[in-house]
Amino acid sequence: MELGGVVQGVGFRPFVYNLARERGLRGWVRNTSAGVEIEVAGPPDGVESFVSDLCMRAPPLARIDWIRVEQSLLDSHEGFRILESRDRLEAYQLLAPDHATCKDCLAELFDPRDRRHRYPFINCTNCGPRFTIIEDIPYDRPRTTMRDFRMCEACQAEYDDPTDRRFHAQPNACPVCGPHLEWVEGARQGTGVSPSQSLMGDSEILAAAGRVLRSGGILAVKGLGGFQLACDATDPGAVSTLRRRKRRPHKPLAVMMGSMEEIRRHCRVNPEEEQLLLSTSAPIVLLERRPESNLATGVAPGQAWLGVMLPYTPLHHLLMREAGRPLVMTSGNLSEEPIARDNEEALRRLSSIADAFLLHNRGIYARYDDSVWFVPLPGKPQPVRRARGYAPYPIRLSRSLGKVLACGAELKNTFCLTRDTYAFVSQHIGDMENLETLEHFEQSLKIYEHLFRCTPEAVACDLHPDFLSSRYARERAEKENLPLFQIQHHHAHIASCLADNDWPPERGEVLGVSLDGTGYGLDGTIWGGEFLVAGYDGFRRWGHLQYLPLPGGEAAIRKPVRLALACCQTLLGRVPDLAPFRTLSEEERRTVSRMLARGFNTPWTSSCGRLFDAVSALAGVCLEASFEGQAAMELESVAGRCEDLDPEWVYPFSVDRLGECRVLRLEELFKTLVQDLERGEEADRVSGRFHATVASMVAAMCERMREETGLATVALSGGCFQNRILLRLVVKGLAAAGFEVLLHRQVPCNDGGLSLGQAAIAAALRDRGEGGGSCV
């Protein structure tokens, strides 16, 4: 028999071996590059129960997607054996992601009697590194970065013992034969101190790391898929220093806490959030911060939510015990660069940030950032960033997309490689705004193409011609003579949501609501508040938000008060006497007015994200932004009452028809909102009313769309739906109106999920006989 799915690196062969021995069956099991092969012989009832239990009792990290069984009367077996792996040309199999330290390994880690007591690299078949160390398939130690560590007698005995949970555990190691910590201190640029590499043992190194953290220092830590930067999350000075050195003035920082009890002291946690935190994937989870928390306000300034995670490696568990407090644990990079992966790279790139380096000598093959999840609705957890613990698990579809490479967007880039019924959405790559990130994209893509034995037969990318991902797609399609599909951004968002829900093409079109910050439109303007009638193979723009001016383009995004000023001049014909506008100089005001009058360097946008930015600035919440989405996130954080869509509560708006499109007019909204502010209404009330208004707009547009089209399924996508208040209100309003609502489940609603939609659209257009080009 042959099985496919996640059946390597999860203790599957030892499980099969022991299952066969339990029943007195004969035969063998082996890994192949397609999965696992088994030959088993014995009494018919024993063989039958064996096959049944393969699925029913599989190891916790295993996932069986298919099984093929052939019967034969031949039986020349003696006993049951694990054979050497076999490589099969063009065959591929799924790979397990890295998993958090299991309870058994954790117990051994802190047991003074255990030979792995306080060993930072303890693991077994149920936990530890997988994807980050695998260089090739089938999955065996010589094909991983553990190949240089020859097992000692004790580890080899465990590896060979069918009753041991480290039976055939490929990364198996101990203090005698495995990786070890390394310590470098005084490497920071500009200190005038030469770096010193210490020859201390692991315990001494951990103690030194604890001292650095407790004294307010910045520590670079080599993790599973790259480096992290750590500091005391309760020390305002340490957090401020990290932000200054990392050049990350306001963007929230993730915090690692030692236990659920500690998390509950700082955050409110519901059962679903706790389940995510305690899962083997162990992502960062966005939690509501308690007012009494003593974490430094600089960890997440202006935010009601904290990104929190539990320790997920033995090294993290040991480090948390040494530090004895919550730690900021953020990506080991300068802002907007990929995380550092190996020791030499980290010492070169992070020496301007870290006071000391906690290194080790186990290699990292695949760069891998932390995943981020949130629970906006009961029973509806969603990823914000999909990476460690999830990739390279594929999105499984009920139909084959063939072999397509989709190159994703510019921000929050991922790529998607499809083969058969699997869509391999990559781990988070990052913002494709520099050559370092493009190099990370290309390296990661090579890994996926090799491990999953997939050479693309079509390429898809965003319609925007200047994205680095689009340039890569064009060059590759031309070089390899492949069809290229250039796909409109918001169509890809809706298709991503459809594919995420395995929406069958035969069910036809849906109503798509795509709300985000930026997407290149068919008319050359910036879209972002879109109401589409869409399927995989096409869409039409049914409606959108009224266009707003962006004086200075990116300058208006970085300084939302400029955007708010331009909106008031355009929509109201006046500049109200509000405190935010008094922060602008007379020269800035005149400059904005001249740009609007002349249309100079003033693109127009239907973006919902920019609407949130403008209101955030008007309400005095965020006048300048240092990271994408900051103004909208801070506006969400201050929102007061917004539980309902009462017409008396929401701001007024109207819908006009402009040719074939319906336009949500914003003049009345701005007029009434500004009147609230002029009367002295607080930002929390204004924010609450505004959130309810946007949700009412969505419901009103969808009801009109249903009247015209007869469609009653709505797909919600785009980064604005990471706003949990907006999402809750929209879902509530649509459900009350009788709509079926599709939400993201496995990939983010932001641009991190866009590549999945691009792949689904490209496959549909290819199947329809189109050979590529701009897809409208």
3 state SS of 431: coil
| pLDDT for res 93 | 87
- Give mean pLDDT, residues 690-702: 97
- Where, residue-wise, is CATH 3.30.420.360 in the chain? 394-501+750-775
Question: Can you give the pLDDT at residue 769?
Answer: 84
Partnered with residue 37 across adjacent β-strands are 2, 30
Q: Where are the alpha helices (DSSP H) in 393-506?
A: 435-451, 468-480, 489-500
Contact 40, 93 (CB under 8 A): no
- DSSP, residue by residue, 113-160: TSTTTT-TT--BTTBB-STTTB-SSS--GGGBTTTTS---HHHHHHHH
CA atoms within 13 A on the CB side of 4: 15
Residue type, 422: Y
pTM here is 0.95
Across 616-633, average pLDDT:
97
Interval 605-627 mean pLDDT = 97
DSSP codes joined into one string, 19-72? HHHHTT-EEEEEEETTEEEEEEES-HHHHHHHHHHHHHT--TT-EEEEEE----
Tell whether the model's pLDDT for residue 193 goes beyond 50: no
Q: Please say whether the structural domain 2-82 has been given the CATH code 3.30.70.100.
A: yes
What Rg do the C-alpha atoms of the chain give, in angstroms? 27
When the pLDDT of each residue in the chain is averaged and rounded to a whole number, the result is 94
Give the pLDDT band of residue 196 (cuts 50, 70, 90): low
For 156-168, what is the mean pLDDT?
92
pLDDT of residue 8: 87
- Phi then psi dihedrals of residue 317, to 5 deg: -60, -45
- The residues near 318 (Cβ < 8 Å, ≥ 6 apart) are 109, 118, 120, 206
Indicate the SS3 state at residue 571: helix
pLDDT in tens, 201-251: 999 999 999 999 999 999 999 999 999 999 999 999 999 999 999 999 999
pLDDT higher than 90, residue 686? yes
Give the model confidence (pLDDT) of 24-38 as tens digits: 999 999 999 889 999
Structure tokens at 690: 């505004």
Can you give the pLDDT at residue 772? 63
- Return all residues near 705 (Cβ < 8 A) that are at least 6 apart: 511, 531, 533, 542, 543, 711
60's CB contacts (< 8 A; 6+ apart) are: 10, 126, 280
E strand or H helix at 636: helix 630-638
The mean pLDDT of 594-606, rounded to a whole number, is: 94
Residue type, 249: P
CATH class of the domain defined by 394-501+750-775: alpha beta
Distance between CA atoms of residues 494 and 514, nearest Å: 7
Q: What pLDDT score does 72 carry?
A: 79
526 pLDDT higher than 70? yes
Asked whether residue 188 carries a pLDDT value surpassing 70, the answer given is no
Q: Model confidence over 54-109: pLDDT tens digits? A: 989 999 889 999 999 888 776 677 889 999 888 887 788 899 999 999 999 999 99
Task: Write the single-letter amino acid at 294.
Answer: N
- Specify the pLDDT at position 386: 98
Q: How far apart are CA 368 and CA 340, in angstroms?
A: 10
Whether the pLDDT of residue 644 is over 80: the answer is: no
Quick one: pLDDT at residue 189?
Answer: 58
Residue 131 confidence (pLDDT): 96
Residues 6+ apart with CB under 8 A from 700: 653, 655
pLDDT value, residue 99: 97
Q: Over pLDDT 90: what percentage of the chain?
A: 87
Residue-wise pLDDT tens digits, 366-420:
999 999 999 999 999 999 999 999 999 999 999 999 999 999 999 999 999 999 9
Please, where in the chain does CATH 3.30.70.100 lie?
2-82
Give the bridge partners for 102, in sequence order.
none
CATH architecture of 543-697: Orthogonal Bundle (1.10)
pLDDT tens-place string over residues 312-345: 999 999 999 999 999 999 999 987 789 999 999 9
User: What letter represents residue 497's amino acid?
Assistant: C
DSSP symbol at 22: H
Fold topology of 181-360: DHBP synthase (3.90.870)
Q: 96-110, 174-188, 290-304, 742-756: lowest mean pLDDT where?
A: 174-188
Q: Which residue has the tokens 């991503």?
A: 496
* Residue 753, pLDDT above cutoff 90: yes
Name the nearest CA neighbour of 753 among 280, 312, 386.
386
- Binning pLDDT at 50, 70 and 90, where does residue 713 land? very high
Nearest to 340 by CA among 351, 332, 348: 332
Share of the chain above pLDDT 70, in %: 97
Task: Enumerate the CATH 1.10.357.160 domain ranges in the chain, comma separated.
Answer: 543-697
